[in-house]
Chain A
Amino acid sequence: MMDNQDVIVALKKAEKMRIEFVANVSHELRTPLTSIKGYAETLLQDLEDGRSADPDFLKIILRNSDRLLALINDLLDLSAIESGADEIHPTELNVKEITDHVIMHVETLAQRKNTRIVTEFLAEHVKADPKRIEQVLTNLIDNAIKYCPPQSEIRVRWTDESKSIVLRVSDNGPGIAEKYLDRLFERFYRLDKGRSREMGGTGLGLSIVKHIMQRHNGSVNAESSLGQGTTFVCRFPK
């Protein structure tokens, strides 16, 4: 049980995290808006000055609008999952069906990078919310495709272990140093900020996975070492 001192420390920590989160959200929203506003203004000015509009400016506006939309969607999602506003309805699901369905959606991206996705099903069913488990699978597989070099191999493996059904998404990419592993699930934490944005990442994907797993009374963790690839392990209680 926590004493008063512990409660004060915990509250201060929570408040600090809240302030940091608000600052991060502000930064992440304002940055694409700067490009949207700036290039729109430039186009308008160029048209007023009789210059022909540069189509690249329109592409930049579109790209940054997409980035903004992805961020807003992820923020709303995270908020709904965290607050419990979005109810979780765990049902018995066929793991092969749900995995194949997600892979179908990320296949184009995988093909573009010549990445092979290999599946292995040593469990048949898992009790989870269909919409949210799809999100977990999509975020983990999508991340693996995006951050691994071309011609990588991604393994999606389901196993039936004593107390839980376990999903492992592994890649044979460059791996992540141990000191960063816990931070991966923090909101807006990015190992490589530039690359993450280039890939269209919002910095919230893994945090969403963590909260979905918590809502299922399960857990997620990452196992990795440099040069050895990375594995994300999700445990769903039976």
Chain B
Amino acid sequence: MQQVLVLEDEADVRELLVLHLKREGYQVQAFEDAEEALIAFQKNKFDLLILDWMLPKMSGLDFCKKVRSEFKTTVPILILTARADTMDKVLGLEIGADDYLTKPFEVREFVARARALLRRANPRANDGQEVGPFRLNNASKQIFAEKQELQLTPNEFKLLSTLIQKPGTTFERGDLITLIQGPGVAVVDRTIDTTVLGLRKKLGKFADYVETVRGFGYRFRG
């Protein structure tokens, strides 16, 4: 599982980032303080660093500079900041960040950028499993239907990727509910049907691939 380090001193924003990264299936270590984050960075291997710029002691920019120059790391870095000036963006990128996102951002954009950085850093993530017209890329959290990427919600992705990986196998509703249950989320029984409904709509002409097994649950057409 890919590991993400989050450094953000604002508790509400930090929890928001962690929630969405975990929902995407990444493992997250979050820090309020740059010094603590630096210790964790030296002890663990991370696939992506997400840094807030304006922090009380060591800034996110100094953190970025330090890990690039002292630790010679090439791990992708996404800077989050309330500084929207072009010169600030240029400075952030010149200092070694790979991407820059201005607050307030759209959660979907944040997740997409994090995903893109992880994909770029791990080209093998582009390899995937092919079943019928579908190609699943678990590492980059993408599913393609006839080479067209499906725009899925995290729940839809979890559901479809689980079904695709075992074509012909019937999954019970209870198991699927457990599967899509994420942190900070209360899942109701109806959730799975709503998710399948939404998924089928997005699959269009391939909707039949997700079959209902009456009284049990769902399966992917084998």
Contacts and interface: CB of A to CB of B under 8 A. Distances in A.
B169 interface: no
Contacts of B54: 27
Interface residues of B, number: 35
Nearest to A52: B186
A194 B56 contact: yes
Nearest to B53: A27
Contact of A30 (B82, B106, B184): B82
Contact of B104 (A37, A50, A197): A37
Nearest to B9: A194
Summarize A's interface: helix, strand, loop or mixed: helix
Summarize B's interface: helix, strand, loop or mixed: loop
A238 B55 CA distance: 44
A233 interface: no
Given A49-B155, A49-B198, A193-B9, A33 B191 contact: no
Contacts of B16: 34-35, 38-39, 42
Contacts of A35: 10, 12-13, 16
A31 B10 contact: yes
Interface string A29-60: 11101111111011001101111101010001
B141 interface: no
B190 interface: yes
Interface string B13-24: 100100110000
B39 interface: no
A26 B104 contact: no
B186 A27 contact: no
A26 B103 CA distance: 10
Interface string B194-220: 110010000000000000000000000
Contacts, number: 89
Given A42-B107, A49-B191, A49-B195, A26 B56 contact: no
Contacts of A152: none
A194 B32 contact: yes
A54 B23 CA distance: 15
A31 B13 contact: yes
Interface residues of A, number: 30
Contacts of B156: 49
B147 interface: no
A143 interface: no
Given A30-B82, A49-B194, A51-B191, A60 B12 contact: yes
B13 A38 contact: yes
B1 interface: no
Q: Which of B10, B19, B103 has the most CB of A within 10 A?
A: B103
A36 B186 CA distance: 21
17 contacts: A29-B82, A34-B104, A35-B13, A37-B105, A37-B106, A38-B105, A41-B106, A45-B107, A49-B155, A49-B191, A51-B187, A52-B186, A52-B187, A60-B12, A63-B12, A193-B56, A194-B32
Given A45-B153, A52-B186, 13 more contacts: A23-B83, A27-B82, A30-B103, A34-B104, A37-B105, A38-B107, A49-B153, A49-B194, A50-B188, A50-B194, A50-B195, A51-B191, A197-B10
Interface of B: 9-10, 12-13, 16, 19-20, 32, 54, 56, 82-85, 102-108, 153, 155-156, 184-188, 190-191, 193-195, 198
8 A-B pairs with the lowest CB-CB distances in the bound complex, closest first: A50-B194, A30-B82, A27-B82, A35-B12, A34-B104, A50-B191, A34-B103, A33-B104
Interface of A: 23, 26-27, 29-31, 33-39, 41-42, 45-46, 48-52, 54, 56, 60, 63-64, 193-194, 197
